[in-house]
Structure 1
């Protein structure tokens, strides 16, 4: 009997063991794919940690039991694992940038940020979606050294370590890459090929300062944007709706799926905004598709397609009295003539392939194309106005070979490649006819009709060496050729044909960087880099129809040194950089008669600055009521001065040009001190809170430094509830922007006094007062 009892117990134990399921898997960063060693995996009371390779093995007691995965600096993830799952890859979303583990692609090195020389800001999806999701402007302005502004939703300008003095609209002097393919124009400007929508973007890397050794022309910097994509082994459908003040509404939907050899993400966005000011609307509809296929062990293919169509109103600038007393009004001319981009359409696509010849030798090659059209009545008054109808077609490609041998005891990496861009820009500018104030204007007489073909070709090479004693050396250089070919097709009587080829001098841009790591978590770095910024097409086309053939690119040399890393068990992250850039041949606007503007090379600037970002992970424990508590702050100090800087303005009274020497003055449009700070909080029940505070110092509005915009501070709050119920994820949120109802103008029109003709200068484009929003997101996981 005793033997039978023992046998029965043994059989029951064997049966229980047999019914248990063993799950094997790997924990990775959802965006980069990097493994997360030491991640915690919990199943009921069973808790294990992932190996140094991020792998784990855990025994489940019931079919369909969930796994809770947590890792310091990442959002806790709960997934349901079916009993027949053999191996699962779990992607984690970062809630904290850990400088010891985050991998960056900047400078084409694909290594830890800790081992990279250069000032690089990193924004993950969770940071990009910290606000109302209208755009990424609020997130971009948390990166030290970056200032992103909007005339209206969909019409942006960005400064990275620089002035917006000669950047009245659009994005100039900043190179933009989408999934490793260049989508800036050859002249360094960025149109609407890619919409800066947080639903489409998985991550942004901001390379500050000249990066010409790998990315071509531009003293400002580079934006490396990556498409949002599906997490590991994901199959989900998500939809969301947000509504807010001033007629803001937004619908978005996405489908994401992935497997061992593929990753597909499709996104749709429809957004409407009436605008804070009169004639200040912004509407858009976007569709985006990203796919990645691993066709073999050696070959990976990537494809993306984005189309956006929309319209936006331009309210125009106000003088100080108007901005203070009636900030929501539009400029009278803008209101009467509905100045706007009445309609824009932009399509961009790209295909790339990465082929691994061996473990030491790879090639990545991609091609892209974009098509854009604009219907754009513009102007500020009777002396400056027009109706532009324009179409742009561009294409190009980029290839890079990487060879990574081990030279004795030194690991090395050699990169060589090239990039080619072509853009055909066909523009017709007409006079404006409008018989009824407030109605849509019509086109009048044609006064400018041209085709501008811009081409750029670049060759680049880089060598990296992992030296003894934890030194990392990078040497790189590029060769760039740039030209604008202009065909003037206007055939009116008395018009002088200004067709011609503008060939800029070929440019070699070298860079050297050195990093010394201190232990596993700290590093110091320094670099010297050279760059140049060509004049965009709009700066060579004078308003009177003549061609500005004498203008030359700006040139700059940048010196910087920095310190980054984490301490206190990876809870404290800090990144500090000091730099000085000497800019020559600075391009400045020259005010002329009747309110028109031309551009010329007129001097130089000395640009010194300090950028610092600090965050502290006070709490990160999914078992606690407050599962995440992270305060953070970024600070930017700028001391930019004109050197040998002379400007010209037109005096209407004497009908003459006046030259003024502004050497030693502060550079127009550069904020001396700015701060962004906040607190991110998550709780075990699912309630979360994001607070963001901004402070901007007073800024000079003109070259003579006789006008300044006042300093201002902003506070934004967002609170929400996020929970997963089996396969359904729910996210409810609401928020307040500009809690204190501060009256301010983020976007300013510099040197407006030069064309005021005795009237109060119109510097200001008032930004929204206090505004509210609320939304809901629903996600269904098929797995």
Structure 2
């Protein structure tokens, strides 16, 4: 109870007040976000928003988004092995044991999540992102089908100084063969802006058979071709490979956590089968912004992606070829009077993803006989409307809704040919009503009600059992939340507390089965969940930013998550799991950090992450133990070599050398729940700016 009360002194969305390479006098209340078309300060936000800016990213190792994302209360990001991401917002891990589900992700103006519900977040390199806005809870009103939340990724190059050219080179080495290199080129001349990001990353991994490498290229261009119009182009290419060591039983995990999955009976080992992921993705988007007049604007975006995906697994070798084509467009009308600012948006988003699924016998990492071959096409369409009313810069009201239409068609080629069939879901109306009110310059209150909706992804409709499950239905539910935000002590303190209740129906959960001594998975609808939670975070400048003292700044931050999530009316055959804790969700998480800025460019950063025990199966008979993670980073800016400025830094993760599993396999067959994470490890890097 004491921990719960302490956690109430926190603020949703960890905020950095000092941008890594910008104005050091930036004030807290000047940090702005744009989650629902309207630019807002954090204190006025109507929703629960987590912000990971470039300064937050810079304080962590550049190898992944995991540590940065986990500073946001209510967000849990895992990495089962290097390159293998899972992302959960408010308990969605029960649906995403091997990927990202029921969360919509956008890269700039373009959806990264395809029509089939898959989000290849691990295709992106950390170097290509400058900011993440995480919208927690269902946001189906203007972002389409999602029951967990939305992630808005701002790519590098969105803020380039006028008429300037800069080049930055970053090199980072780490324990277990880790290496990350990236080059960032930014240029603006007159009406043209260009950003190019190139990156390469590799790691041998902590466990056997857990190496990874990724080659990445990204370009963002913007051209103001008229006084009232501009066009923006985004493209990235990612070539990712990582080995998958596989889950371990409790006995294997405690005896030797570095092991990859060994052979058992007739089932070969992960090393024997060369288990891993080979994924190549090419993505492109084009967006035109036209200001028709002082009140009316039109934005249209087209986007497309192609992914060549290969997954030699223990029991089969899967190949997928996925092609997506889509469009997003909206009109925006604004009007202002002396008392009220109005903004109305009306738009649509439509996309189609075609996927060829082919499964073969896996003969020691080589394709064998065909097991199954299918073609699936997913169609995702929704129209949306959004109205924002700002009264006297105090009361902000947002009303939005969408009509969602989702369906897919499928055709089986092998082992038995089945003609093309279609499965469509009913049109779903998704409203959101939200408001925030400034009681005074320091204190605001907010509340919202929204409905979430998320159809099964193609990876769930056709899971590794190679059966097209036409009975799998969408999940949906209502979310209610309220909160307060406070700015005090001459803007040195920012505090936010949010409480919510989410009643999810028809929840999609994973099951493992054994067919002919081969492990396979499938998905089914559970009865639902009841999710009560508190998310809070505190940011406090003990010593404000200054250029006088030896200590230039000292900031403390703490985020707290309390999740009282339970299954509701959930029966699995003869088992009654009603009232059990939600699988994969820790009841409590506390992340605290200290950021110390010293004279002559020295800096010290410390972070502590406490995560309580985690249920690993729906029956709640197996739990992962609680753990404490401590990180540290020391840096020195302002160095010069031959008049070239550079920065040096060294860091360490898991300083307590905890044995923990970051990326558990939920409801795993044979009790293979555990994917051990790295022991104490170190990294260091060099940043050169020209």
Paired residue for 2:4? none
SS in structure 2 opposite 1:328?
coil
Q: 2:623 matched to 1:708?
A: yes
Paired residue for 1:21? none
Describe how 1:76-95 pairs up with structure 2 within 5 A: 92=22
Paired residue for 2:48? 119
Structure with bigger gyration radius: 1
- Which is further off, 258-267 or 220-229? 258-267
Measured in 2, the distance between the counterparts of 1:97 and 1:180 equals 27
Q: 2:647 matched to 1:749?
A: no
Alpha-carbon shift at residue 110 of structure 1 (Å): 2.1
Measured in 2, the distance between the counterparts of 1:139 and 1:94 equals 21
Measured in 2, the distance between the counterparts of 1:486 and 1:407 equals 53
Alpha-carbon shift at residue 522 of structure 1 (Å): 2.5
Q: 2:194 matched to 1:264?
A: yes
1:671 pairs with one of 583, 586, 591: 586
Measured in 1, the distance between the counterparts of 2:672 and 2:523 equals 20
Measured in 2, the distance between the counterparts of 1:542 and 1:130 equals 38
Paired residue for 1:536? 457
Q: 2:639 matched to 1:639?
A: no
Cα offsets for 1:157-186 (capped at 9, x unmatched):
100011312312111111000012111012
1:129 pairs with one of 58, 65, 68: 58
Alpha-carbon shift at residue 408 of structure 1 (Å): 7.3
Q: 2:486 matched to 1:565?
A: yes
TM-score (normalizing by structure 2): 0.93
Cα offsets for 1:121-173 (capped at 9, x unmatched):
11111101212200111100000000001122222110001131231211111
Describe how 1:431-510 pairs up with structure 2 within 5 A: 431-434=361-364, 441-467=365-391, 470-490=394-414, 492=415, 495=416, 497=418, 499-510=420-431
Q: 1:272, 1:282 within 8 Å by CA — same for their partners in 2? A: yes
SS in structure 1 opposite 2:114?
coil
* Larger relative contact order, structure 1 or 2 (CA cutoff 8 Å, min sep 6): 2
Measured in 1, the distance between the counterparts of 2:106 and 2:442 equals 29
Q: 2:92, 2:148 within 8 Å by CA — same for their partners in 1? A: no
Q: 2:192, 2:224 within 8 Å by CA — same for their partners in 1? A: yes
Measured in 2, the distance between the counterparts of 1:727 and 1:365 equals 45
SS in structure 1 opposite 2:36?
helix
SS in structure 2 opposite 1:114?
helix
Measured in 2, the distance between the counterparts of 1:106 and 1:235 equals 30
Change in CA separation of 1:622 and 1:76 when aligned onto 2, cut-off 3 Å: farther
1:363 pairs with one of 290, 298, 304: 298
SS in structure 2 opposite 1:128?
helix
Describe how 1:190-209 pairs up with structure 2 within 5 A: 190-191=119-120, 195-209=123-137
5+ residue gaps, structure 1: 1-71, 78-91, 380-384, 435-440, 649-658
Change in CA separation of 1:111 and 1:335 when aligned onto 2, cut-off 3 Å: same
5+ residue gaps, structure 2: 1-15, 263-268
Describe how 1:18-33 pairs up with structure 2 within 5 A: none
Cα offsets for 1:371-398 (capped at 9, x unmatched):
110121012xxxxx10011111111111
Paired residue for 1:722? 637
Measured in 2, the distance between the counterparts of 1:407 and 1:482 equals 40
Paired residue for 2:467? 546
Change in CA separation of 1:713 and 1:514 when aligned onto 2, cut-off 3 Å: same
SS in structure 2 opposite 1:336?
coil
SS in structure 1 opposite 2:217?
strand
Measured in 2, the distance between the counterparts of 1:593 and 1:322 equals 21
Q: 2:546, 2:553 within 8 Å by CA — same for their partners in 1? A: yes
Describe how 1:294-693 pairs up with structure 2 within 5 A: 294-332=224-262, 333-341=269-277, 343-379=278-314, 385-406=315-336, 409-434=339-364, 441-467=365-391, 470-490=394-414, 492=415, 495=416, 497=418, 499-541=420-462, 543-594=464-515, 595-619=519-543, 620-648=545-573, 659-693=574-608
Measured in 2, the distance between the counterparts of 1:176 and 1:612 equals 23
Alpha-carbon shift at residue 263 of structure 1 (Å): 2.3
Cα offsets for 1:84-107 (capped at 9, x unmatched):
xxxxxxxx2679882x22221112
Measured in 2, the distance between the counterparts of 1:102 and 1:466 equals 19
Q: 2:101 matched to 1:175?
A: no
- Which is further off, 514-523 or 131-140? 514-523
Q: 2:678 matched to 1:768?
A: yes
1:277 pairs with one of 196, 199, 207: 207
Cα offsets for 1:180-212 (capped at 9, x unmatched):
2111012332025x7342211111100000000
Q: 2:402, 2:431 within 8 Å by CA — same for their partners in 1? A: yes
Alpha-carbon shift at residue 572 of structure 1 (Å): 0.3
Alpha-carbon shift at residue 542 of structure 1 (Å): 5.2
Q: 2:18 matched to 1:74?
A: yes
SS in structure 2 opposite 1:765?
coil
Cα offsets for 1:452-476 (capped at 9, x unmatched):
1111111000111123582111111
Change in CA separation of 1:198 and 1:76 when aligned onto 2, cut-off 3 Å: closer
Cα offsets for 1:433-491 (capped at 9, x unmatched):
13xxxxxx21111111111111111100011112358211111100111111112122x
Measured in 1, the distance between the counterparts of 2:533 and 2:155 equals 31
SS in structure 2 opposite 1:106?
strand
Q: 1:93, 1:126 within 8 Å by CA — same for their partners in 2? A: no
Measured in 2, the distance between the counterparts of 1:401 and 1:699 equals 45
Measured in 1, the distance between the counterparts of 2:550 and 2:324 equals 53
RMSD over aligned Cα, in angstroms?
Answer: 1.9
SS in structure 2 opposite 1:667?
coil
Alpha-carbon shift at residue 496 of structure 1 (Å): 6.1
Change in CA separation of 1:303 and 1:469 when aligned onto 2, cut-off 3 Å: closer
Cα offsets for 1:319-341 (capped at 9, x unmatched):
11211221111001112211001
Alpha-carbon shift at residue 241 of structure 1 (Å): 1.1
Q: 2:123, 2:238 within 8 Å by CA — same for their partners in 1? A: yes
Alpha-carbon shift at residue 724 of structure 1 (Å): 6.1
Change in CA separation of 1:583 and 1:200 when aligned onto 2, cut-off 3 Å: same
Q: 1:697, 1:712 within 8 Å by CA — same for their partners in 2? A: yes
Paired residue for 1:9? none
TM-score (normalizing by structure 1): 0.82
Q: 2:123, 2:239 within 8 Å by CA — same for their partners in 1? A: no
